[in-house]
Each structure stands twice: as C-alpha cells, then as structure tokens.
Amino acid sequence: MNAAAGSSQLEVEDLRVRFTTPALDLTAVDGVSFRIEAGEVFGLVGESGCGKTVTCRALIRLFGGSPPSAIGGTVRFAGRDLATLDERAWSALRGSEISMIFQDPMTSLNPTMRVGTQIAEGLQRHRGLTAREARAAAIEMLAAVGVPAAERRHLDYPHAFSGGMRQRVLIAIALACRPKLLIADEPTTALDVTVQDQILKLILKLRNDIGMSVLLVTHDIGVIAQTCDGVAVMYAGKIVESGATAQVVNRPAHPYTRALLAALPAHTRRGDPLRPIDGEPPNLAEPPPGCRFHPRCTFAIAACREIVPAPIEVEAGHRSACLRAGEIG
C-alpha cells in the first residue's frame, strides 16, 4: 500500500531523546529510525515504558511539563526537516498538517467548551473559516465520525458523551483540518473491546477518505496485526524489529516480537495458562550491556551480553536487531 514514490510522508532517522535531571540521566529513545509513506498506517508497538510515547512527542516537539535535555537525529515531514522550524511554523503545522489523538478520551476534551466549538476552533485558526462556516464543518465532521444527531449534539459539553463517543469527538477535532499525518497514541487503550474495534475501523475509514498517513502507537500487537501496513517493534528505547506487518507477525525474527505474539490470549489454547514475558523492561538509566533484551530472552547466548546487535535484513524490508535473527526466523 506504499502509494507515493520518492520521499516519504515522514522519515525519522536516528532519533534520540535524552532526559537529564540531577538524579538521573536516561536516553528514552535511542537511535530510532522508520519511515511512513503517504497513506500508510504504520504501527509502533512495545511494552509500557519502552519509549513509544516519547517518540511521538519528539515528532511534534511537545513534551508537556518535562522537556528533554537533548533531541538528536532528524525528522523529515513531507521532505521538510522539522528541526529547522520556529515556534510560529510549528503552530501552523500542529493540528493542521500533523494531528494527534491521545490515549484517554475522558481527560483530553476541555470540559468547559461545547464539543462543536472545540472542533470548529482549529478550522477557524488554521483554515481561516468564519465562525458560521466552521460550525457547519464541525457538524459535518461530527457526523463523519459517527456521532448520531450531530446537528444537535455539537452543542453538548464533553460530560454528556460516553468514552467511545468522546474518542470519536477527539478524532473529529484531530481530523477537522484534514492533516497529512495522524499520530494516534494508544487511541483505544481506555475503551471497551467492542468500542476499540469500532474506533480502529473508523480511523482506517477516515485514512482512506482523507488520504492521510497514520502512526498507530499501541502495546497490543493484536491491534497492529489487524490494522497496520508496516510495523516497528520497540524495546527499551530501540527498534528491535521492523517490516511489513505480514512479515513481522507471521515470521517474527526477534525473540521479543515472538514473546509479544505468544503472550496474546488468542495464541494460547483454551485452558492453558497465559504466557507473559518474564521479568520487566530494563531501567533506561542503566540499560543492560549488549542486547537490551538479553536478561529476559530465552534465546540468549554469551555474546548477547557484550555485543549490541545491529539490525540485519532477514528478508526484503524485514529487519531484526538480533544476533540470532537468522536462526529464529
């Protein structure tokens, strides 16, 4: 589904994000590279704390209360190096060309503004629509994300919506300006399973309608398998495996990916215990030497403790950063 030839919609190269406080010094994202083509849905998967969210935040350069001490590497969006943008250019880009939806729809909407106003605000700011035009567009958008009776409900405040409906409203806000890239950070984690599926289908449908790229961040590799064209698996701030979804899910070439897949309830026979990954992700302030996964890896050999594995291409477009990638695949 890689539609556009030439330069990709988003190119991330050797991204590094480092946080320094007097107490600790950690590199949350350590040399992450991937590219997302126009119209592609790209998945970023990994356990909590592996650096997925920090990666997203680094892409749009907003960190909330705790900014990192250093960001390295390059991020190119539609061929433009984002490191060169000033604050004004960023404001024009965010919400307009690049949009983001958050994990928790219960807290991401402003409780004191009508949802229609929240959708319309971006259209007025970024597209120069009048209040009246923006309201009409907001109602249209609300209907497009499947909120029933949109011409009435746009006047409601967020508290009048359920979790799934709020996530739809958030998607409407994020997509009102028809961005070229949507970053969805765990968009379904806080939702019921049935609603999760609806929201994912909605994102895929709107991807087709608008023709945008999607960076889908999740800890659920099952979600990736259903929705993404390409995928990168992150562990402890590094990408350990990447490739087309079919390649990675069907022929995992890294022990971590295999463990993630094995941990899925669907891969466990009825009556058998679930198979969690033993141990915990490492403390990023003192990552283990060599391969960062070796303390938890069932395939680890002596060399894993010393050598930092470089990504190896196991098949066309499918890379794994494991010393034994060839034997595992």
**Residue placing its CB nearer to another protein in the complex, 158 or 329:** 158
String marking each residue 53-82 x if it binds another protein according to CB under 8 A: -------x-x-xx-----------------
Distance CA 104, CA 102 (A): 6
**Residue placing its CB nearer to another protein in the complex, 112 or 298:** 112
Q: Which residues pair with 151 in a beta bridge?
A: none
Q: What is the smallest separation between the CB atom of 177 and another protein, expressed in angstroms?
A: 9
* Number of alpha carbons in the 13 Å side-chain half-sphere of residue 121: 12
Q: Interacting stretch for another protein, rule CB under 8 A, among 148-156, 259-267, 284-292, 313-321?
A: 148-156
Closest CA to 206 of 215, 197, 214: 214
Instruction: Tell which positions 157-186 bind another protein, by CB under 8 A.
Output: 157, 160, 170, 173-174
Q: Which residues pair with 185 in a beta bridge?
A: 217
Distance CA 324, CA 329 (A): 9
Instruction: Tell which positions 266-305 bind another protein, by CB under 8 A.
Output: none
* Longest pairwise C-alpha distance within the chain: 67
By CB under 8 A, residue 239 contacts another protein: no
Q: Interacting stretch for another protein, rule CB under 8 A, among 85-93, 139-147, 252-260, 279-287?
A: 85-93
**Token representation of residue 316:** 């066309």
Name the DSSP class of 94.
B
**Residue placing its CB nearer to another protein in the complex, 6 or 64:** 64
On the 0-12 / 13-18 / 19+ scale of CB atoms within 10 A, 146 is middle
Q: What is the smallest separation between the CB atom of 99 and another protein, expressed in angstroms?
A: 7
Instruction: Tell which positions 89-128 bind another protein, by CB under 8 A.
Output: 90-96, 99-100, 102, 104, 107-113, 121-122, 125-126
**Residue placing its CB nearer to another protein in the complex, 183 or 260:** 183
**The tokens 């006047």 sit on which residue?**
155
Q: Positive or negative, the Cα torsion across 222, 3, 179, 176?
A: negative
**Residue placing its CB nearer to another protein in the complex, 47 or 104:** 104
First to last CA, the chain: 24
* Number of alpha carbons in the 13 Å side-chain half-sphere of residue 257: 31
**Residue placing its CB nearer to another protein in the complex, 113 or 204:** 113
Distance CA 246, CA 228 (A): 9
Using CB under 8 A as the binding criterion, the count of chain residues that bind another protein stands at: 35
Q: What is the smallest separation between the CB atom of 121 and another protein, expressed in angstroms?
A: 7
Contacts with another protein by CB under 8 A lie at 60, 62, 64-65, 90-96, 99-100, 102, 104, 107-113, 121-122, 125-126, 152-153, 155-157, 160, 170, 173-174
